[in-house]
Amino acid sequence: MSGIFRLTIRYLLYNKLKTITLVLCVSLAILLPVLLQFGISQFERDLMARANATPLVAGMKGSRFDLALQSMYFSQADLESTTMQEVETIQETGYALPIPLAVRFTAQTAPVVGTTLDYFEFRKLKIAEGSSLQRLGDCVVGSNVAEKLQLKPGDRLMSDPLNVFDLSGNYPLKMRVVGVLEKAYSPDDDAVFVDLKTEWIISGIGHGHQSVDAKTDKNLVLQQQGQSTVANAAVPQFNEVTEENLASFHFHGEIESFPVTSIILVPHDQKSEVLLLGMYDTNASSIQLIRPVEIVNELLQLVFRVKQLFDANALLVSISVGLLLTLVFILSLRLRKRERQTMFQLGCSRSTIWKLQLTELGFILAGSLIIVTLLTVVLRVYIHQIMRLWFI
């Protein structure tokens, strides 16, 4: 080992606290703009990729950002629901394939996405284990959900109640896990997919209970009119769909009036897209049709404006750290004047003495760069999760 390196390492190790403090200071000063730039780029890539893969989204008029983010990322936004009637209307135009989404509930905090099988085809989602949705009460879980909750086909997953104190509200449904999706590196990995009808059962629109007839306990009967028997609220409802009780599940009302939170539209061609946009571009309509790409661009403009503030801040921090380093360097030179004098008297050249000081600085910078690189690598691995956790 060269003498300079030996002396440098010995000095830095002897002054551990000073060395660590300086390395961390410099690391933070470098890390701040690097992470910001890296994070924003990844954020932009993520958002744009998902937005580009989602041509049009329809939903009730209100926040365009909420509508776009919930349709793409299943974020828990309080969106007003539209109905299946709208899905049928779009279907009838023949301009696009409508894929309804109902995102109102969660299961073990993962969003429960009620949709049709078209969604899996549209997002090119593949089943890694088990099968696709087969009947009411089935669910297919994203790879991250399966990993986090240790789920496999055949397991059961309970939906979360919206409000545990609301006895008249929706009851949790014990869903049968029939499949696990392949990793898609998208929000689909973090969702639980069910058929729309299953989602409506969770919401209480549909339910199953024991048959109510003349033989039923009188305490459970509200009214008896000839062949028709009306049960009261004391009739226990099934909280799980099984082969035995499947037939008892039914819905009250017309399916056209059942809620969906948004509809993804896949236009057949560009002309159809334009026609659809024109169809909904009217004040009379209660529905808005958005292009997620445009919404994401707007969102990114906002992010970039905020980033400029962060950039200015990072610049100031860097200048401060630079000045701090200079101060430490000058103070160190002053404190170690006798050491330098001794070395000079022992025959050390002035250039070697400077090399020694600069090598110490170099080691601190190198240490900082290593930390920054390591953290950047770690960030690269977890960037998707972090982005989703912070921004969406």
- Residues of this chain that interact with another protein (CB under 8 A) are 3-4, 6-7, 10-11, 13-15, 338-339, 341-349, 352, 356
Residue (285 or 349) nearer to another protein, CB: 349
Task: Name which of 9 and 325 has its Cβ closer to another protein.
Answer: 9
**Half-sphere exposure (Cβ direction) of 57: Cα atoms closer than 13 Å:** 33
- Which residue lies nearer to another protein by CB, 2 or 223? 2
CA angle 366, 368, 371 (to 5 degrees): 110
Query: Which CB sits closer to another protein, 358 or 374?
Result: 358
Q: How far from chain centre, in Å, is Cα 10?
A: 47
Per the structure block, which two tokens stand in for 381? 């691995």
CB 4 to another protein: min, Å: 8
> 161, exposed or middle or buried, with CB in 10 Å at 0-12, 13-18, 19+?
middle
* Minimum distance, C-beta of residue 341 to another protein, in the bound complex (Å): 8
Where are any strands of DSSP class E within the chain? 56-60, 82-83, 96-107, 110-115, 127-130, 138-141, 156-158, 174-181, 192-195, 206-207, 221-225, 228-231, 250-251, 259-260, 262-267, 287-290
Cβ neighbors of 272 (< 8 A, separation 6 or more) are 94, 95, 96
* Residue number, 152 or 350, with CB nearest to another protein: 350
Rounded CA gap, 109 and 101, in Å?
18
Q: Which is nearer to another protein, 3 or 169 (CB)?
A: 3
Question: In angstroms, rounded to a whole number, what is the distance separating the alpha carbons of residues 311 and 32?
Answer: 9
**Based on CB atoms, which residue is closest to another protein, 335 or 377?**
335
In the complex, the smallest distance separating the C-beta of residue 43 from another protein, rounded to whole angstroms, is 45
Amino acid identity, residue 1?
M
Q: In the bound complex, what is the minimum distance in angstroms from residue 354's beta carbon to another protein?
A: 12
Q: How far is the CB of 350 from another protein (least distance, A)?
A: 8
Smallest separation (angstroms) from another protein to the CB of 6: 6
Q: Give the whole-angstrom CA distance, residue 120 versus residue 132.
A: 9
| 297 conformational bin, left if phi > 0, alpha if psi -120 to 50, beta if neither | alpha
Closest CB to another protein among residues 320, 342: 342
Q: How far is CA 68 from the centre of its chain?
A: 13
